[in-house]
A and B are shown apart, each in its own frame.
Chain A
Amino acid sequence: MSSVIWYLYEFARKSWAEKFANAHTEHEILEKPERFRDFPTVKREYCIGCGACTTACPAPGAIKLVRDTDTAEEEGQTYPVIVRGACIRCGFCAEVCPTDPKTIECGENHLIREEFTIVPSEKLYVIDDYLCIRCKKCMKACPVDAITEKDGRVEVDQGRCIACGECLEKCPVKGALKVIHVAYVEEQKMVINLAVNELESAIEEKSEDIKKLEAEGVYRMNYPLKPLLERALEVLPDEEIVRDLLEKITDRLKMRIITWSPEKCVQCRLCVDECPSGAITYSEDEGIVRDPDKCLRCSTCYQTCPFGVAGYYVARFLIDESSGEEMIRITIKPAALPVKR
C-alpha cells in the first residue's frame, strides 16, 4: 500500500509532469566519445567582451555577445552565447579566445592565439566627417550594409566591412572616404622614406638652378613616376598599396629645401651656435661645413646668416598623367621668411 502512495506522489510531482508533457532527449545525457568536439562551453565570468570569437566565427550568427542589464552595484557582465542551431562545432572561437583561463572551451584545443589574424581585412575604410556631404551614396552601394547613419554622421562598421571598395567608387568627394592599409606597416614606412629621399636627391641635383631664383620666381621640374614605382614595388610587392601611398605622399608632402653656397661664406660662425641639430660645424682646416644628413631643414641658418649662404625653398608635388606618361610635377618657390640682413 505504501508503494502505491509513493508512486502516486512521484507522478504528481511537477517536474515529472513537465517532463512527461515535453518529452525529448537531453543533450547532456549523451555518452560522448573521447576527443569528440561538442558545442563550445562558455564560462561567462572570464569574458572580457572583446568580441574576438564573434569576429572569428565562420558560421554566420552562431555566436552572439550578450550584455546583462546594469544593476545599482555593478555593470552588467558581457559574455558570448552559442546559438546551437547555427554552430558548426569547429572550435575556432575557443582558439582565438584571448582570456586566460579561456572563456570558451571546445573539445581538445591547445593552440596558440598569435597564429590567427582577428582583423578580417587589410584595409580600413574611414569616413572623414568634416568632408562628408551626407549624400549616402556609399550606404546604397555597400553590399553588406556596413555603412550606417548614426546621429547625423555616416559611419563604417568595421566588424561588418568586407573591404570590397564599392563605397569608394561611389563617393563623389575626394578624401571624404579614405582607405587605410593596416598591413605591411614597416614596408609602407620604407616606401615613404624611399620616395622622399628620391625626390629630394632629384631636387638637389638642380640646386644650382634653384639658387638663381628670384624672390617671386617659381621653378618647375618633372620627375618620372615609373622608376620610383618600380623601386617601391621591390620593397612592397603590392601595386595597389604602393600607388595609394605615392598619391598620398605627393598630395600632402611640402618639402623644405636648403641650398648652401660656400663661396659667399665669410666664416663668421653665427650659424654654428644657432643650428639646433649640430649639422653645421667649424674646424680650422675646413672652415664651416654643413652635413645634409643631420640637417633638420628648420631654416634657422637661413634666418641667421647675414650673407645669404643658406637658401630656403619650399617644394610641392603633384602626380600628372596629362602628357601620357605619369610624371611627378615639382614646383619650387623661395620661402617668404624674415631674414636678418
Chain B
Amino acid sequence: MILPLGPMHPGYKEPIRLKVKTRGEKVLKAEIEYGYVHRGIERVMRNKTWQKAIYLSERVCGICSYIHTQTFAEAFEAISEVEAPPRAQFLRALTNELDRIQSHLIANSTYFKALDHETMFMYMLALREPVMDAIELLTGNRVNMGWNVVGGVRMDASESHLSRIREIIVDLEREFDRYVEMFEHGPLIGLRSREVGYMSQEEAEKARAVGPIGRASGIRYDFREDHPTYRDHLDFRTIWRDDGDNFARVMNRFDEIRVSIDLIKQVIDNMPGGPVRTKVDVKAGYGEWRNEAPRGEVAYMIETNGNLIKNISIRTPSIMNIDACAKYMLRDVATVADAVATYASADPCIACAERVMVVDEERGEREILL
C-alpha cells in the first residue's frame, strides 16, 4: 500500500509529504512531494540593496542561518575585489563553527526524536543551549544574528568575550564525549541505526549528496578545504566514512562537532588584531561564492549593478540531500519507523529546498525561484 507520511508528522520539523510504498511493515520505496513552505525569497531580493537583502538571506534557512549571510557577503566582496580584514575573517570562522555545532546537535537530536529516544533528544538540546549562549554573546542574537555585512562583521569581540566562549567550548567538549559514547557503544540505539538506510558512494554521487550525508557515504570532500581562511590559517581535517548508513551519518556529525571545537580553539588562540570591517564600494558585475554550510555546500550567484541586486540565485544543500534520501536511502527499509528515522538522519531543511518554476508562455522563458 502507499502510506502518506506528513505533511504534518511528529518526526518532521517542517511540512513535507513522503509517499511511502509498503508491503506489510517493509518500506519498498518513497516519493517526495514539496510545495508547502515556498516563500519566494529570491524574487523579493531583486531590486534591493545588499543592506536590505542580507537580512533576507539570513532567513533562507532557519537553523544554519549564519552561513547564508557569510556567503552573501563574501560573494559581494568577490564582485568588488575586496577582502575582509583578517580579524573579521577569523570572527566569521568562529561564528561559522559555533553555528555548525548547534546545527549538528539539533540535527542529531531530531534523529533521536525520530528514534523515540527522548533522553538523548533532551541531552542533545541541553548540550546545544550553551552554544547558543556563546553565539548570543558574540553576535547579539541567537538565531537571526545580523552579524555579517559586506566588508566584515558588525561588532568587535573583546578578549573577555572570547575567553568566555572558550570556556563554554571546553565545558561542551567534556560533556560531549559521554553522550557520543552512549550512542556509539549503546547496544539499542546502535542496533537500530546500523545498516539502516544504506546509500553507497556511487549512489551518493549520482544523487549529488553533499555535506555530512555525502561524506558518510564516502565522498571525501568538504568545501572548507577551499575556503581562504581555513586553507591559509587553520589546521583542518575532513571527516568521512564509507558505511553510508544512519549510524555513519550521525557519527559523522558528532565527529565534525569535535573538529569544530578544535577549530574554535585554534581561532581564539590565533585571533589577529586590527579592524573588523572595511569600507566596500560595491562594483557592478557578476560573482559567485561557495561555502560549506552545516548541511553541505551552499552557493550564491549574484548579479548586481553596483548598488541594487539585479539577479540572485541561491543553491542550498538540502535539495540534493532530500532527493538522495527519497531515492536511495528509503529503499528496502525494514520498518516504517525506521523510514522516519532515516529521513531524519538526512537532516532535511524543507524551506531551503522549496522551488517554484515560473513559466512565461508569451516570451517562452522559464525561471526557477527559491
Give residues of chain B (300-347) contacting chain A, Cβ–Cβ below 8 Å: 305-308
Cβ contacts A113-156/B at 8 Å (1 or 0 each): 01111001110000000000000000000000000000000000
Interface size class of B (residues with CB under 8 A): 20 to 34
- The answer to whether A58 and B56 have CB atoms under 8 Å apart is yes
**A46 contacts the other chain (Cβ, under 8 Å)?**
no
Complex Cα distance, B51 from A107, in Å, reads 18
Given the interface pairs A109-B155, A116-B51, A117-B49, the reply to whether A91 lies near B284 with Cβ below 8 Å is no
* A115 partner, pick from B49, B53, B156, B279, beta carbons under 8 A: B279
Chain A interface mostly: loop
Complex Cα distance, B161 from A35, in Å, reads 10
Q: 22 interchain pairs (CB within 8 A)?
A: A33-B136, A35-B136, A35-B140, A35-B161, A36-B141, A37-B146, A56-B51, A59-B55, A88-B146, A90-B55, A92-B55, A92-B146, A110-B156, A115-B279, A120-B307, A121-B307, A122-B305, A162-B48, A163-B308, A164-B47, A238-B284, A240-B305
**A76 contacts the other chain (Cβ, under 8 Å)?**
no
Give residues of chain B (14-56) contacting chain A, Cβ–Cβ below 8 Å: 47-49, 51-56
Give residues of chain A (84-121) contacting chain B, Cβ–Cβ below 8 Å: 88-92, 95, 107-112, 114-117, 120-121
Q: Give chain B nearest CB distance to A166 CB in angstroms.
A: 11
- Which of B51, B54, B55 is the most central at the interface, judged by chain A CB atoms within 10 Å of its CB? B51
Q: Give chain B nearest CB distance to A225 CB in angstroms.
A: 22
Q: Give chain B nearest CB distance to A107 CB in angstroms.
A: 5
**A34 contacts the other chain (Cβ, under 8 Å)?**
yes
Which chain A residues border B155 with CB–CB below 8 Å? 35, 107-110
**A268 contacts the other chain (Cβ, under 8 Å)?**
no
- The answer to whether B307 and A33 have CB atoms under 8 Å apart is no
- The answer to whether B307 and A107 have CB atoms under 8 Å apart is no
Q: Give chain A nearest CB distance to B304 CB in angstroms.
A: 11
**B154 contacts the other chain (Cβ, under 8 Å)?**
yes
**B212 contacts the other chain (Cβ, under 8 Å)?**
no
Cβ contacts B267-311/A at 8 Å (1 or 0 each): 000000000010110001000000000000000000001111000
Which chain B residues border A159 with CB–CB below 8 Å? none
Q: Give chain B nearest CB distance to A151 CB in angstroms.
A: 29
Cβ contacts A34-61/B at 8 Å (1 or 0 each): 1111000000000000000000101100
Complex Cα distance, B53 from A112, in Å, reads 20
**A237 contacts the other chain (Cβ, under 8 Å)?**
yes
**B137 contacts the other chain (Cβ, under 8 Å)?**
yes
* A122 partner, pick from B54, B56, B307, beta carbons under 8 A: B307
**A183 contacts the other chain (Cβ, under 8 Å)?**
yes
* A183 partner, pick from B53, B151, B307, beta carbons under 8 A: B307
Complex Cα distance, B306 from A120, in Å, reads 11
Q: Give chain A nearest CB distance to B79 CB in angstroms.
A: 13
- The answer to whether B154 and A33 have CB atoms under 8 Å apart is no
